[in-house]
Each structure stands twice: as C-alpha cells, then as structure tokens.
A = this chain, B = another copy of it.
Amino acid sequence: MATGEFDLIARIRARAGTRDDIVLGIGDDAALLAPPPGRHLAVTADTLNEGVHFPRRTAPADIGWKALAVNLSDLAAMGAEPAWCTLSLSLPQSDTAWMDAFLDGFLALAGEHGIALVGGDTTRGPLSLSVTAMGFVDAGSALRRDGAQAGDDVWVTGTLGDAAGALVLLDREPAHPLRRRLDRPTPRVHAGRALAALASACVDVSDGLLADLGHICARSDVGARIDIPSLPASEALMDAFDDVARPALQAAGGDDYELCFTADASHRERIASLASRLDLRVTRIGRITAGSGVVAVDAAGAVWQPPRTGYDHFG
C-alpha cells in the first residue's frame, strides 16, 4: 500500500520505545537526550545495502533485525550498554506492510536490549538502512582494539562460518538452517559487557576472523597465531561442509557478529565461568605473539593459507 513519508514516520513514532533518559523523542528537528553523568558515550554507525549486505528478497523483519544487530554488535565489542539509536531508511517506494514487518524485526531486537529509536529519516532511494547506535561505558573500562599483549590468549564467542556457509548455500538451499545465522545474527551484548573487566582487547567478527583479529594486531602492535582446528563450528555447519571446505568459512567468512577477544592467561577460569553463566560457547583459538600479522596453522602445525582475508566492499 502506497502512502506518504509523514505516514511512514508516524508509524515509526507510534511504535518506538522510550526510556527515562529521553527528554524528547521522534518528532522534532532532533531528539534531546540526557547522558548519564561521568560515563562515556560509545557511538557507532553501520549501513546495510540490499544485494551487498543482505540478499535481495530477504524478509523485511530480518532486514530490520540485522540493521540493528550489526550496530549492537559494535557496541558489544566495546563492552557498552546500548541506549539510543537513529535510523535512516531509504525505500524504493512507500509500503506500510513492508514498514510494519521491518519494524517488527528492528523493535524485537531493540526491546531485548533496551535500546530506543530516537530519530532518523525516511527517504526515497534504493533499499538502504543506516543506523547510528549509542551506548554507555564506564570511563576507562571500554574494550578497545589496542590493548592486546604478547602472550594473551585469543578467544571467540559462539561459532564461526555459519553466515558464510549460508551464503554459499543461498541459491541451492535458501531455507537451510544456517540461513537464520545470516539473517538474524545475535549481537553478543551481554558477553561484551561482562568481558569489559577481563579482556585486554576485543573486536566483532564482521569481516572475517583473520581480518578482524588483524585489526586488533595492527592497533595493539602485536601478532597472533591461530589454531585452525580449534575454531568452533556449529553442528549445522559440520553437516553441510566437510573438513576441507569448512576452515575457510570459519577463518575468513564474514557476518558472524561473534566477539573475538584477547585476555591474559590468568583469566581462563573466570572466562569459562562467565561463559557458563551466559550459556554461551567461548573457545580459546590461539595466542597473541610479539611481531605483527595473523598466522593461522593447521593440525600439522603448517601455515594455513586462507583463500581471502576478509570482505572488502571494494575488493
């Protein structure tokens, strides 16, 4: 059903949640917010474009979920508590049914994490979603990329390669169980906040493990050695891909939105107990080294060569 821009904005406004720290929400030239005194504000922005960041014909509720999830994942990687977000939405045509379904997905995830939509705009254009997410973190306790030390363990939450596996299977098996990991990634917000006291560095796995861990190494001026056989795989991924095909998906596939973090070896037990408390798989996959760059080794200890080192949008 076609309708006007102001009708679409009214639909968003009617359903956007609120919080005590929102002085003025959607409906003016800008939102007015009251940041908590003494804490830092973590701010991140990520865009999803149709056909680039999600397949064409993805369900609108899944698009809504993912547009917020990739931004919550960045807040998680900082150890931040989600608070507010803006949404800029470009749509080829006005469509209230699409908008309602999109909001179903976006607001379901927003509600899980107590983040409120406070502004944005709706314009005509090729399907594109730009979200800016804001959260709070105590001064000095954010999980940055630049704190890894030689000797630290390297860890990863959840399983790797599922989203990349779903993309490989997309044409043949569009409804494969792995598809849900591509369409509805789980931002590791609780894990990130709990890790703020334990991890020395953290990044979310959006471009692929080796590429993202490479960002930690570059910012921390260290290297890393990753043990390919230790990389965690889901049952669904193991069923769908053999031992030859799987490592590339796990080490270089993007879009998993797990957290890769480093921590002193003395924290192993505390990390295990945190994982148990959160009911979240957390796997030790390697070690930070002096030097630079990420080296991956196979079961025989030989250097493993990835087919590519992450997703470069202009590569």
List the interface of chain A (C-beta within 8 A of B).
Answer: 2-6, 8, 23-24, 27-35, 37-38, 40-47, 49, 52-53, 74-75, 77-78, 80, 84, 86-88, 90-91, 93-94, 118-126, 128, 130, 132-135, 137, 139, 142, 144-146, 202-204, 219, 312-315
- Among all A-B residue pairs, the 5 with the closest Cβ atoms: A130-B130, A49-B125, A94-B314, A132-B132, A30-B44
Task: Verify B77–A47 contact, CB threshold 8 A.
Answer: no
The reply to whether B44 and A40 form a contact with Cβ atoms under 8 Å apart is no
**CB of A134, distance to nearest CB on chain B (Å):** 8
Output the least CB separation between A55 and chain B (Å). Answer: 14
Q: State the CA gap A38–B52 with chains docked (Å).
A: 42
Among A4, A34, A94, A125, chain B packs the most CB atoms within 10 A around the CB of A125
- Identity of the chain B residue whose Cβ is nearest the Cβ of A47 in the assembled complex: B88
Among A24, A124, A314: residue with most chain B CB under 10 A = A314
Would you give the shortest CB distance from A156 to chain B, in whole angstroms?
15
Are B88 and A24 in contact (CB-based, < 8 A)?
Answer: no
Of B23, B31, B78, B124, the contact of A30 (CB 8 Å cutoff) = B78
A86 touches B43 (CB 8 A): yes
Q: A29–B137 contact, CB under 8 A?
A: no
A300 to chain B, nearest CB (A): 32
A78→B120 contact, CB < 8 A: no
Given A37-B38, A94-B314, check contact A132 B45 (CB 8 Å).
yes
Tell me the nearest residue of chain B to A130, going by C-beta: B130
Q: Is the CB of A313 within 8 A of B5?
A: yes
- Min CB gap A53→B, angstroms: 7
Please, how many angstroms separate the alpha-carbon atoms of A219 and B28 in the complex? Answer: 9
Q: Which residues of B sit under 8 angstroms from A313, Cβ to Cβ? A: 5, 122-124
The smallest beta-carbon distance between A144 and chain B, in angstroms, is 6
Q: Which B residues are in CB contact (< 8 Å) with A49?
A: 90, 123-126
Which B residues touch A119, using CB under 8 A? 43-45
* Beta-carbon contact of B86 and A132 below 8 Å: yes
CB distance from A52 to the nearest CB of B (A): 5
CB–CB A24/B144 < 8 A: yes
> Do the beta carbons of A5 and B315 come within 8 Å of each other?
yes
The residues of B that contact A24 with a CB separation of less than 8 Å are 142, 144
A125 contacts which chain B residues (CB < 8 A)? 47, 49, 52, 126, 128
Complex contacts, A219 vs chain B, CB 8 Å: 27-28
Nearest to A42 among chain B residues (CB) is: B30
Let me know if A123 and B312 touch, CB within 8 A.
Answer: no
